Amino acid sequence: MVTIKDVARRAGVSVTTVSRVLNNSPHPISPETRRKVLEAVAELGFCPNAAARSLQLNETRTIGLMLPDVANPYYSGIVRGIEDVAHQEGYTVILCNTDRSRERTLEYLRVLREKRVDGVIFMGGGVVEDAKEDRFFQQEDIPTVVIGRHSGTFPSVQIDNIEAAKRAVEHLLKRGYREIACIAGPPSSTTSRDRLTGYCQALAENGLKYEPSWVVHADFTPGGGYKAVQELLRKSKFKPAALLVHNDLMAVGAIKALTDEGLAVPQDIAVVGFDDIPLASYVLPRLTTVRVPVYELGTTAMRLLRDLLAGRPVPEVTVLPVELIVRESA
């Protein structure tokens, strides 16, 4: 195995000089010396010992990324934003898929601590609260950023889900739909709770009564949306004229279920989703949805974490705007 001493010998410099070049030290080094060191590194195929470097510098240049469902394209868009900024800043990302499981979340937290990650990004405020990680990471003094609303003390980047849901319902009301049902996400999700709050507020502000039988909770998957429609049609006394669905994957499943029940979208029932994943503009009918800036959520979160690691002040809450995308489903 090639060592830093071999590099120093090949370049004709000291080990300290090689270390300064490889770590971009502010110590003055002549361009000629830097060139010799880098040429020696390339010729010998030297690979620095990351573990030794992390002990020396007290950093690993790695961050942990906790997300609820790696298969959901909503999260993949956020991951792309995080990865792009992390790469620019010289960080490696360790991806941890929790499946919304408290046990897996806590297990990953222990692993990330053992890996001595420099910081952590959580996706989903509900996952954060369920894991009780606030105390965990405060004890470990690990810089942490959350994507989504949460009740802890960490900086967060989020959208206003209450206002976004109200906007979607008001879009339906303006087009004459009055009987609006809702397929919500899991009750433990802060995103789902906020979107349900917005739904209820929009109804109340427009003089409409909240009907509990018109709200069905599902699991943010197409299968969950499909089953939710079946349950909604089975238990409701009246057929709703429109559906507000808490994410696009469930909305796709809901449209399939409505079609299987012999109902046409939007002629018999309108559907509005959330997120604007790429699939939303390819399903038939194309999905009206609330566009969430997923990539920007990721880039903003990683920049917040970068600033935390550098000791710079960061805002407690950063809210990004959303946009209602009107297509054929509503």
Q: What are 126-184's pLDDT values in tens digits?
A: 555 554 555 555 555 789 999 998 877 889 999 999 999 999 999 999 999 999 999 99
Q: How far is CA 96 from CA 59, 77, 321, in A?
A: 20, 16, 27
Instruction: Report how many domains make up the chain.
Output: 3
Q: Do the beta carbons of residue 181 and residue 238 sit within 8 Å? A: no
Q: How many CB atoms lie within 10 A of CB 268?
A: 12
Is residue 185 located within the same domain as residue 226?
yes
Q: What are 48-60's pLDDT values in tens digits?
A: 665 455 545 557 7
In a domain, 327, yes or no: no
Per-residue pLDDT at 110:
85
Determine the structural domain holding residue 106 and report its residue range: 60-159+294-320
In a domain, 55, yes or no: no
Q: How far is CA 232 from CA 20, 87, 184, in A?
A: 66, 45, 12
Is residue 137 located within the same domain as residue 228?
no
Is residue 41 located within the same domain as residue 189?
no
Is residue 198 located within the same domain as residue 251?
yes
Q: What is the CATH number of the domain that holds 117?
A: 3.40.50.2300
Q: Is 230's pLDDT higher than 60?
A: yes
Is residue 246 located within the same domain as residue 310?
no
Is residue 17 located within the same domain as residue 76?
no
In a domain, 193, yes or no: yes
pTM value surpassing 0.75: yes
In a domain, 53, yes or no: no
In a domain, 97, yes or no: yes
The CA-to-CA distance between both ends of the chain, in Å, stands at 64
Which residues have C-beta within 8 Å of that of residue 328, sequence separation ≥ 6?
266, 285, 286, 288
Which residues have C-beta within 8 Å of that of residue 292, sequence separation ≥ 6?
74, 159, 164, 274, 275, 276, 322
Bridge partners of residue 324, in order along the sequence: 290
Q: What is the CATH number of the domain that holds 19?
A: 1.10.260.40
Is residue 308 located within the same domain as residue 279?
no
Average pLDDT of the chain? Answer: 89
In a domain, 325, yes or no: no
* Of 163, 242, 221, the residue nearest 197 (C-alpha): 163
Length of the chain measured in residues: 330
Per-residue pLDDT at 235:
81
In a domain, 244, yes or no: yes
Residue type, 80: R
In a domain, 83, yes or no: yes
Instruction: Give all strands (DSSP E) within the chain, no chain letters.
Output: 62-67, 92-97, 119-123, 144-147, 156-158, 180-184, 215-217, 242-245, 270-275, 288-291, 317-319, 323-325
Q: What are 73-131's pLDDT values in tens digits?
A: 899 999 999 999 999 998 999 999 988 888 888 888 888 888 889 999 998 755 555 54
Q: Do the beta carbons of residue 50 and residue 118 sit within 8 Å? A: no
Between CA 95 and CA 121 the distance in angstroms is 10
Is residue 150 located within the same domain as residue 118?
yes
Which residues have C-beta within 8 Å of that of residue 61, sequence separation ≥ 6?
54, 90, 91, 92, 118
